[in-house]
Chain A
Amino acid sequence: MKKGTCSVFAVLLLSVFVGGLLFAGGATETAANPELRISWWGATGRDEKYLSIIEEYGKLNPNVSLTPEYAGWADYWGKMATLVAAKNLPDVHQYTNNQLGEYFAKGAVVSLESYVKSGVIDLKDWNQGMVDSGRINGDLVAITLGITAPTMIINMTWAKELGIDIFAFNESMSWKEFANWLKTDVQPKMPAGTYAFGDYSKDENYWWTWVRQNNAKWVDDKGNYAVPVAVIEEYYAYMEDLRKAGVAPPLAFTVEDNAKARGDNAFNTRKMLIRPTNANQAKLEQQFMKVKGDEVEMRRLPHREGASTSAEALITSAMTIASNSKFKDEAAKFINYFVNDPAAQKIYNGEIGVPGSIKVQEMLKPNLNKVAAQEIDYINMIATGAPPTEPKPAGIWAFDAEIQQMHQLVASGQMTPRQAAEATIERANKFLASFK
């Protein structure tokens, strides 16, 4: 091979290295100028908020180098799986309590107790229930950016026109009372082709709440699925009973409705009076109501017979510090700034849910619309005195999609609720075996 040709190749290869390195990160990190990587999920509107807050923090701390990393919801988790395996998680990153248990078990995050005790992360004026949403086995590992919870949203204007009395904001019925109320007081007053209540099968947080209400554990000591078959059967049977009574829509309607864009769904277009959803969706649904003047309100989920509370699952989206972070102290300072600083929270404006700080809630509330303000009241109401929401063990979150599929098998008549419940446990144990 001629020397000239070898040189060509060498130059080519070198240019690749140089070209690639030109685009590489890698500022020199020292304790005096820490470099924090901060990641989140979302899309443009949310990105702009995070980037603004990061910029503000950077102005106050010019020695800190801040690198944002963001992706859409599904892509975020695809990346996280790779990053946790390489022990290269961003210093500050987020979870919901659907995934937190799984990543905690992998040693991905550190305890934040010492930072709270020393006051670096100040949670003194926080709703305790919201603080506790970030605990695993009693240890605080995540600070909530916002809490949401399952709710049912109601088109109050339409209900009034139809002469339907809706129970008060701070009340709830038992599941049996709720079903009877829908069948006898609500559906008879609904126009033909419309439904009193939506199908809760796609709402994994309804399922989570159902499990909580029954005091069931997700997995036993051996790692097997521990939700009793009777509990699962009742969950499927309840919805099937509402479908058969004509109170909830049939499967085909639900599948089509779930695929519709916001603004065209059954709730927005007066085909459904009460819709199961999460509290942080209420203000978005209000925005897209087709009939001008239709007002949306939230109500609590039904409770178990004889129970004093509906024990709704508190769904947190929370910030954590990576165990591989070299700048944990700085990361803690950043988290404190993000969740407590009035300027930061004004920018964030309850983006992902109701903030845990009461001071921040009071600061934001006057500028919120009616539904968003009610969201704060709703979350505070259900969070106060709520039993702890234990994050899900590894594999449970991924398995939740099976519950919706089982509902569809029951709704299409292919399985009875009992058969579906037994199949759920069988599938769950096969699935969880891969996580052992």
Chain B
Amino acid sequence: MVVGERKNHFAQTIRFILILAVAAITMYPLLWMISSSFKFEQDIFQQLGLIPRNMTFENYINGWKGRGGSFSLYFKNSFLLVLLATVGNLVSCSLAAFAFARKDFRLKAVMFALMLGTIMLPQHAVIIPQYVMFFKLGVSNSMLPIVLPKFFAVESFFIFLLVQFMRGIPQELDQAAIVDGCNAWGIFSRIIIPLSQPALVTTTIFSFLWTWNDFFPQLVYLTNPKLHTVSLALKRFVDPDVLPAYGQMMAMSTVSIIPILILFALFQRLLIEGISTTGLKF
């Protein structure tokens, strides 16, 4: 091995060690959570190591029973909510993005700016007027207030992400489609959507993740305990009025991240492609 190659090898080794160290530090809270889920309650804050000295599955068994309801109900509700919200976002945001990316219409720039402006609106600023509106419509105690807006392209972040991606698709393809007799809908469904797969997958993953983890709207709108979701249920484990059940909370938190991990694992290639081609930086 020549000197240059040896230096290269050494530098690469150092780089990998540093990356592994940073990864370990980043992953530590997650590993601690998983480790604590297998510990007895009194050991969670006493034993510092990741490997439990005395292992137990009680936290999973008792945690699944839940506090006020079984986690099977909460998971069912969360999946339903996430499915509807994700479908809504995909349908409405892709249509809105197509309009902004490919069409010319009056006040397009103004509407685009307004749309981007809503990204800066915090949730807590709009929750009260939104609640009043849905209450007057008589649907405040249901999933509708959370799901319905998704079908009306309220998620500006996803619209922006898709616009950026769609602008990268050559316009020549649209023109070729027009020559072949496609109308706007044909261009959207046959050209743009198939080629926007990475961005759509990114939208799916983040829509899933954000709806799955969302808390405050679910707290406000889902008053009937039969509608409660995983995020509401996890919060019940720790309350100032009672002895917290940290072990059960860690166990159910571990279970609750499994669907997200599966989603990431299945679509990670497309996710990375979707983010990198839109030029979005996180």
**Given contacts A2-B185, A86-B135, are A25 and B224 in contact (CB under 8 A)?**
yes
Does B139 sit at the interface, judged by CB under 8 A?
yes
Q: Are A20 and B143 in contact (CB under 8 A)?
A: yes
Complex Cα distance A5/B186, Å? 11
A431 contacts B by Cβ under 8 Å:
no
- Judge if B242 is at the interface, Cβ distance under 8 Å: yes
A41 to chain B, nearest CB (A): 7
Cβ-defined contact, B68 with A47, below 8 A: yes
B247: Cβ under 8 A from any A Cβ: no
Instruction: Scan B78-89; emit 1 where CB is below 8 A from any A CB, else 0.
Output: 001000100110
A24, B144: Cβ atoms under 8 Å?
yes
Place the interface of chain B in its size category.
35 or more
A1-38 CB contacts (< 8 Å) to partner B:
1-2, 5, 9, 12-13, 16-17, 19-21, 23-26, 37
Q: Is the CB of A43 within 8 A of B239?
A: yes
Determine the residue in chain A with the shortest Cβ distance to B140: A88
**Roughly how many angstroms separate A69 CA and B80 CA in the complex, as a whole number?**
21
Number of residues from A at the complex interface, CB < 8 A: 44
Does A72 contact B236, Cβ atoms closer than 8 Å? yes
Any chain B CB within 8 A of the CB of A67?
Answer: yes
Assembled-state Cα–Cα distance A5/B45 (Å):
57
| Contact indicator per residue, chain B 241-256, by CB within 8 Å of chain A (1) or not (0) | 1111000000000000
User: Would you call B68 and A44 a contact (CB within 8 A)?
Assistant: yes
Which stretch from A73-81, A123-131, A293-301, A389-397 is at the chain B interface? A73-81
CB pair B242–A45 under 8 Å, yes or no, is yes
Q: Which residues of B lie under 8 Å from residue A43 when comparing CB positions?
A: 67, 236, 239, 241-242
Q: How far is the CB of A38 from chain B (nearest CB, A)?
A: 11
Interface residues of B in 59-97 (CB under 8 A from A): 67-68, 80, 84, 87-88, 91
Are B219 and A79 closer than 8 Å at their CB atoms? yes
Instruction: Flag if A23 contacts B143 (CB, 8 Å).
Output: yes
B147 in contact (CB, < 8 A): yes
A12 cross-chain contacts in B, Cβ below 8 A:
87, 91, 151
Judge if B168 is at the interface, Cβ distance under 8 Å.
no
With A43-B239, A82-B128 known as contacts, the answer to whether A19 contacts B143 (CB < 8 A) is yes
A227 within 8 A of B: no
Given A25-B141, A46-B242, A86-B132, is A16 in contact with B227 using a C-beta cutoff of 8 Å?
Answer: no
B169 at the interface (CB under 8 A from A): no
CA distance A26 to B144 in the complex (A): 13
Is there a chain B Cβ closer than 8 Å to A71's Cβ? yes
Cβ-neighbour of B147 out of A16, A71, A83, A262 (below 8 A): A16
- B176 is an interface residue with CB less than 8 A from chain A: no
- The yes or no answer to A62 lying at the interface (CB within 8 A) is no
Q: Is the CB of B142 within 8 A of A21?
A: yes
B223 within 8 A of A: yes
> How many A-B contacts are there with CB distance less than 8 Å?
117
A261 within 8 A of B: yes
Q: How far is the CA of A108 from the CA of B165 in the complex (A)?
A: 50
8 A Cβ contacts from A170-190 to B? none
Q: How long is the Cα–Cα vector from A37 to B141 in the complex, in angstroms?
A: 12
B219 pairs with A88, CB closer than 8 A? no
Distance in angstroms from B116 CB to nearest chain A CB is 26
Smallest CB gap from B46: residue in A:
A264
CB distance from B247 to the nearest CB of A (A): 12
Taken together as a complex, chains A and B put the C-alpha atoms of A13 and B189 apart, in Å, by: 19
> Would B68 and A70 count as touching, CB distance under 8 A?
yes
Taking the closest CB of chain B, its distance from the CB of A49, in whole angstroms, is 12
Interface membership of B127, Cβ < 8 A: yes
Could you tell me if B239 and A42 are in contact, using CB atoms closer than 8 angstroms?
Answer: yes
**Distance from B52 Cβ to chain A, minimum over Cβ atoms (Å):** 18
Q: Do A72 and B139 contact each other (CB < 8 Å), given the known contacts A12-B91, A20-B144?
A: no
Given contacts A85-B131, A86-B132, contact A24 B240 (CB under 8 A): no
**Is the pair A21, B144 in contact by a Cβ cutoff of 8 Å?**
yes
User: Does A73 lie within 8 Å of B241, measured CB to CB?
Assistant: yes
A26 touching B138, Cβ below 8 Å? yes
- Give A175 to B242 CA distance when docked, in angstroms: 32
Is B55 an interface position by the 8 A CB rule? no
Contact of B135 among A70, A88, A261 (CB under 8 A): A88
B67 touches A44 (CB 8 A): yes
B226 to chain A, nearest CB (A): 8
A88→B68 CA distance, assembly (Å)? 24
Distance of A215 Cα from B45 Cα, bound (Å): 44
Chain A residue nearest to B220 (CB atoms) is A82
Assess the B219–A75 pair: CB atoms within 8 A.
yes
Q: What are 29 A-B pairs at a CB distance below 8 A?
A: A1-B185, A12-B151, A19-B80, A19-B143, A20-B142, A21-B139, A21-B142, A23-B224, A23-B227, A24-B138, A24-B142, A25-B142, A42-B242, A43-B67, A43-B242, A67-B224, A68-B225, A69-B223, A69-B225, A70-B225, A72-B240, A72-B241, A73-B239, A73-B241, A75-B235, A83-B131, A85-B128, A88-B135, A264-B45
Q: Chain B interface (Cβ within 8 Å of chain A)?
A: 45, 67-68, 80, 84, 87-88, 91, 127-128, 131-132, 135, 138-144, 147-148, 151, 183, 185, 189, 216, 219-220, 223-225, 227, 232, 235-236, 238-244
Beyond A5-B189, A262-B243, list 18 extra A-B contacts (CB 8 Å): A1-B183, A12-B87, A16-B151, A20-B147, A21-B139, A23-B142, A24-B142, A26-B141, A43-B241, A43-B242, A44-B67, A67-B223, A69-B223, A69-B224, A72-B239, A74-B240, A75-B235, A85-B128
3 interchain residue pairs of minimum CB distance: A20-B144, A24-B142, A44-B67
